[in-house]
Amino acid sequence: MSATTKDILTHIRATFTAPSPPQLTDLRPLIDVYISENARLEPELENGLSDLYYQDIDHSNVSHIGAFVGVLYAFRMVLSSASIISWFDSLLRRALREPKLDLETVKQAKELVLMPLYDESE
């Protein structure tokens, strides 16, 4: 099974535009396949995630913010330090300050913020 950029973005968008709160359980297998096939996040997928975040995510909905942190966290092994840093102002800072987010999501946001500090490849 191959996970194309289009497939992943379609599934992520469907997850966030569904009437029920976003659940990442259906996305994890697809993301895991992508990670096993790619050493880095393709620019097309990175741009698609950014577009999806700004166009399809309900920024007033804490479950959307938390789930999108989960999406980035799932991709953490293929995200560059520059990519993670680019998410700080728009998403990660808010996640760290949002009192309604569950502790696991806050922990994931903290780990993402710290990753560039320990990245020896860049």
Query: Tell me: the pLDDT tens digits for 88-117?
Result: 999 999 999 999 999 999 999 999 999 998
Q: What's the whole-model pTM score?
A: 0.93
Non-local CB neighbours of 115 within 8 Å, separated by 6+ positions: 76, 79, 81, 84
Q: Is 13 left (phi over 0), alpha (psi -120 to 50) or beta?
A: alpha
Cβ contact 4:44 at 8 Å: no
How many structural domains does the chain have?
1
Cβ contact 5:42 at 8 Å: yes
pLDDT at 26: 86
What single string gives the DSSP state of each residue in 2-59? ---HHHHHHHHHHHHHSSSPP-STTTHHHHHHHHHH-SS--HHHHHHHHHHHHHHS-T
Query: Tell me: the pLDDT tens digits for 5-29?
Result: 999 999 999 999 988 888 889 899 9
Cβ contact 35:73 at 8 Å: no
Which of the 8 DSSP states describes residue 101? S
Domain that holds residue 96: 5-118
Query: Tell me: the pLDDT tens digits for 57-79?
Result: 999 999 999 999 999 999 999 99
